[in-house]
Amino acid sequence: MEDVRPDIQIVIARADNGVIGRDGALPWHLPADLRRFKRLTMAKPMIMGRKTFEGLPGLLPGRRHIVVTRDAAWRAAGAEPVADVAVALAAIAGQPASVIGGAEIAALFDPVATRWELTEVHIQAEGDTSLPYPDPARWTPVAREDHQAEGEHPAFSFVTLERL
């Protein structure tokens, strides 16, 4: 019997220097990235770490919020706490899902993901959370859409990577 891998995309915005967060939030504001994030994650379970969940502006409509946490007692309204990758995968039951952060959760799901949906923010951001670029020995770019800086919004690129 063929092992069917669920469609798991990692959806992350990352500065050129690897920064993905500062004080529990994004260190930039890119309306186009927020629209893309909504489009990519809508109607799918979202898997995230506890800090990412707590950094959201609230529950995001139209999506399940599966939160990977080591704290077995942790609870929050609208969150489905799970202990690890295996329990998260069991919770999605083969459905397509989006892993939305943070860095540790993205690294944990990298081996089972089918795709990265990156927003490369072309700045050297200051922050307290970083994520290395996905390993080019395992991931290859299949789509790229570049956008110029506009006003206070930095230049950025939407990049889709697929597993080799």
State the pLDDT at residue 3.
53
Q: For residues 158 and 145, give the distance between their C-alpha atoms in angstroms, rounded to a whole number.
A: 5
Cα distances (angstroms) measured from residue 31 to each of 35, 112, 126: 6, 29, 20
Q: For residue 67, what are the domain limits?
A: 8-163
Q: For residues 8 and 88, give the distance between their C-alpha atoms in angstroms, rounded to a whole number.
A: 11
State the pLDDT at residue 114.
97
Residue 64 lies in a domain: yes
Q: What is the number of structural domains in the chain?
A: 1
State the pLDDT at residue 24.
87
Which pTM does this prediction carry? 0.95
> The CATH number of the domain where 65 resides is what?
3.40.430.10
Residue 1 lies in a domain: no
Helix boundaries (H) for the chain: 31-41, 50-55, 85-92, 103-109
Residue 133 lies in a domain: yes
Residue 3 lies in a domain: no
Q: How confident is the chain (164 residues) per 10-residue block, as mean pLDDT?
A: 77 98 93 97 97 94 97 97 97 96 96 97 97 97 98 97 96
State the pLDDT at residue 120.
98
Residue 86 lies in a domain: yes
Residue 30 lies in a domain: yes
* Other residues' Cβ atoms within 10 Å of the Cβ of residue 124: 10
State the pLDDT at residue 5.
76
In three-state secondary structure terms, 90 is helix
Q: For residues 59 and 158, give the distance between their C-alpha atoms in angstroms, rounded to a whole number.
A: 25
Residue 55 lies in a domain: yes
Residue 104 lies in a domain: yes
